[in-house]
Chain A
Amino acid sequence: MKIWVYAESEGDKATTATLELLTKARELADTVEAVYIGSNAAAIAPQLGEHGAAKVFTADQGDSLAGVYGAAAIASIVEAEAPDAILFAQSYDGRDAIAHLSAKLDRTVLTNGTSLAVDGDTMTVGTAIFGGNTLVDTAFDGPKPYMAAIRPKSFAAEPGGAAAAEVVPIAGAEPGRAGEAKVLERHVEEREGPKLEEATVVVSGGRGIGAAENYAPLVEELANLLHGASGASRAIVDAGWVPYSKQVGQTGKVVKPKLYIALGISGATQHMVGMKGSDNIIAVNKDGEAPIFSVADLGVVGDVHKVVPKLIEALKARG
């Protein structure tokens, strides 16, 4: 089997989700190659090679949307190169790419995957539904290439010690009218400390923290003391208390830290699907019946305004 991975980057680093997909592809297929859309393939290709890509097909999207341009680039070479499957990260650009390519090639897609299996010519994608309570395996049964989008953190990322990847430019991408969407400006939101998806400790706040101005002294402060990242439920993102980039859950980020602390979060299935995989969970909620307690290793039934300040004080006292 030949598997392609749609690779993405942040600056000059391949995203962790990309490296996770390459690592898994290496386990499933004898040939692993990547497609990278961007102007810095020279910097990205060695990282992709180290994680298993023998070749990196690349094109520069200019000011077009990377995913949209990527779909056109892949469509222009897919017949000649004949990959059996193409894997995408469940990311903004990954979703654009898989969706446009699916329509172009008239192929079904499986998205939100959390596991992958190959048996001969068959590929099966596992997804978790009903807030992660039920696991469903779905197999492709049509023509190749199979196309799947996989949630970040589904697999470990490990270098395979392979040789440098060969970089192959793609010349004939024709995005058509889809390519008329142009990026005029990029806004990068400030972030301190570790990334939410990569932090060992994540402290998230929900509606129970009461007001936007309580987020910094309760949630961020505790996260900082534990050298972690701060997250949020969708309720307080929609309310405008914190930016969307902090949202944990079905429509936000999936996190699997060593420790997840939920402050004033009820534990809706859509939130839990994003944090249930954490090694350890602490929840503070004043409602003893809150669903979050059903997954908490340590549940504190109490008021965040009472428990958290004392906790912060105790941690500071220890220095």
Chain B
Amino acid sequence: MHIVVCVKQIPDPAVPGELNPDHTLKREGKLILDESDSYGVEMALQLADAAGGGDVTLVSMAPNDEVSGLRTALAMGAAKAILVSDDALKGADALTTSKVIAKCVERAGGVDLVLTATESTDGYTGTVPAQVAALLGWPSLTFAKHVELGDGKAKVQRQTEAGFDQVEAPLPAVVSVTAGVVEPRYPSFKGIMAAKNKPVDQVKTGDLGLSPDALVSHQNITQVEAAPAREAGEKIEDDGAAFERVVAFLDELKVI
């Protein structure tokens, strides 16, 4: 069983985001593992275990040869990583990112399953998983809140508006997992030490056979402006009778 987990390395979401003058997202300082992808890493480790062993390879595309987030995922237990860091990818759109990831999956070789999150915390385009599947020509099972492997198939509970669908597809396939599907483990001290020596295959787009014209993002930011702020209204401390003010407010709105 060979499982690839896509892991995005992102600026700390606790720090308020900012844009560069060229409208790209500021990515200064250390990047960290997107928490949404920690579920994919954990899921991969559990599925490999359940399958009686297997390799878990990480794939990440990030600027400046960033490895901090990859080290976190390696410390959780992944065996190795492929990192694509290339100035040609600055401002890449979701399709370009997916082309890079699909090539990395081919480079990893003999892959049975690709796991991703449903959307990244900083970009949340939310299309990368299915775009990667389509580029590889594989089935995609998106929004999985439960995943099992068996009989050469991935079997998932796929989130729907109404509840969930039981969906399955033969491997190899791409599965995107929702947050909370599994409880991501904390890296152990031993894991953290071991991660320092795990192999990270650092590649450029040229190494993946991607030509510059395959990497053009056909979109252009034309305007950025502050959203009209919503004003805070009245604020009261509950002295035991605040509910009366709430009832009066509901009356004003005519919802009761």
Residues of chain A at the chain B interface (Cβ within 8 Å):
10, 15, 65, 67-68, 71, 90-92, 95-96, 98-100, 102-104, 106-112, 124, 128-130, 132-143, 149, 176-189, 200-201, 225-226, 234, 237-238, 240, 243-245, 250-251, 258-259, 276, 280, 282, 288, 293-303, 306-307, 310-311, 314-315, 318
Contact = CB atoms under 8 A, between A and B. Distances in A.
Interface stretch (B1-9, B56-64, B162-170): B162-170
Contact of A176 (B19, B137, B226, B236): B137
A135 B226 contact: yes
A112 B124 contact: yes
Task: Classify the secondary structure of A's interface with B.
Answer: mixed
Interface of B: 16-17, 19, 23, 93-95, 98, 118-119, 124-131, 133-135, 137-143, 145, 157-170, 173, 178-180, 216-227, 229-230, 232-238, 240, 242-247, 249-250, 253, 255-256
15 contacts: A92-B142, A92-B143, A100-B130, A108-B217, A132-B227, A133-B227, A134-B226, A141-B218, A142-B219, A180-B170, A186-B160, A187-B165, A298-B234, A307-B243, A315-B256
B252 to A, nearest CB: 9
B139 A102 contact: no
A106 B102 CA distance: 14
Nearest to A301: B237
A186 B167 CA distance: 9
Given A142-B218, A182-B167, A314-B247, A109 B94 contact: yes
A288 B125 CA distance: 34
B224 A111 contact: no
Contacts, number: 257
A124 B180 contact: no
Given A102-B127, A182-B167, A251-B119, A124 B222 contact: yes
Contacts of B218: 107-108, 140-143
B220 A138 contact: yes
B118 A106 contact: no
Contacts of A226: 250, 255-256
B222 to A, nearest CB: 5
Contacts of B247: 311, 314-315, 318
A119 to B, nearest CB: 10
Contacts of B134: 71, 99-100, 102-104, 178
A138 B219 contact: yes
A140 B162 contact: no
B219 A302 contact: no
B125 A300 contact: no
A253 to B, nearest CB: 9
Residue among B23, B137, B238 with max Cβ neighbours from chain A (10 Å): B238
A177 B171 CA distance: 10
A109 B119 CA distance: 14
A111 B98 CA distance: 15
Contacts of B168: 181-182, 184
A237 to B, nearest CB: 7
Given A251-B179, A297-B233, 17 more contacts: A92-B161, A99-B130, A108-B93, A109-B125, A128-B227, A129-B17, A136-B221, A138-B222, A142-B219, A187-B165, A245-B163, A259-B255, A296-B235, A297-B249, A302-B238, A303-B238, A306-B238
B166 to A, nearest CB: 4
A228 to B, nearest CB: 8
B145 A244 contact: yes
Residue among A68, A107, A133 with max Cβ neighbours from chain B (10 Å): A68
Given A177-B139, A276-B230, A96 B220 contact: no
A108 B95 contact: yes
Given A99-B129, A251-B118, A259-B253, A141 B160 contact: no
A298 B127 contact: no
Contacts of B245: 298, 300
